[in-house]
Amino acid sequence: MTAPPDDCLARNEWICGDYLTSRRGILMDATVQHLQLTAVSVLIGLVIALPLALAARHRRWAAAPVLGVTTVLYTIPSLAMFSLLLPVYGLSATLVVVGLVLYSLTLLVRNILAGLRAVPEETRQAARGLGYGPLRLLLTVELPLALPAAMAGLRIATVSAVSLVTVGAIVGFGGLGNLIYSGMNTYFKAQVLTASVLCVVIAVAADLLLLGAQRLLTPWTRRTS
């Protein structure tokens, strides 16, 4: 028997509204997992990258090792990275998060360091002349002025993480990548296309949200543009 003419699932079409309605729960769970893995990995990466960038900024001898190690980590292919971490973390979400954190360090450290280095020395000297101590100088002068460069790195790292989460499907924790992987194995067109489009939507939405946050946190850049 042939499939009914209105049954897009049976005809295995790329665009199928019935897939969205019948698999709504599966899509929601995969999307939530995708968002969680992305957010956790980027936040942990930011927490690690900030002190590394500060160390590289204030101790010149530390800059080359920090940048060198993070760059080497970024050159490791994603499948190889997860395979290297597998004996330590096993088939778990932690494996995916650690891998994404390591990948994010290059983008975050380099951009934070570039922002700190771009702060004019005369601005630092003026702040010190006003009695600013090292911590107050960092928090109220250096980091705010370094924020545009740091946010640029954060945006790139976030979009990259959204993409790399899908590779986690090889260990069963890939968010929407799980659906893409299983859909490709079974040639389930609607599932592959829907999950892929959702990945793109998440990446674009995350980038726009971070861009909006950057504009709110750096109002002086709007006035000078």
- Stretch 106-117: mean pLDDT: 88
The structure tokens listed for 213 are 């946050």
pLDDT of 2 higher than 70: no
Higher pLDDT, 124 or 160: 160
pTM to 2 decimals?
Answer: 0.85
**In the prediction, which pLDDT does 22 show?**
81
- Stretch 12-18: mean pLDDT: 79
pLDDT of 225 higher than 70: no
pLDDT of 223 higher than 70: no
pLDDT level of residue 49 (50, 70, 90 thresholds): very high
**In the prediction, which pLDDT does 1 show?**
43
**What percent of the chain lies above the pLDDT cut of 70?**
95
**In the prediction, which pLDDT does 71 show?**
85
- For 159-211, write each residue's pLDDT tens digit: 999 999 988 888 888 889 898 988 888 888 888 898 999 999 999 999 999 99
Q: For the chain, what is the mean pLDDT?
A: 85
pLDDT level of residue 224 (50, 70, 90 thresholds): low
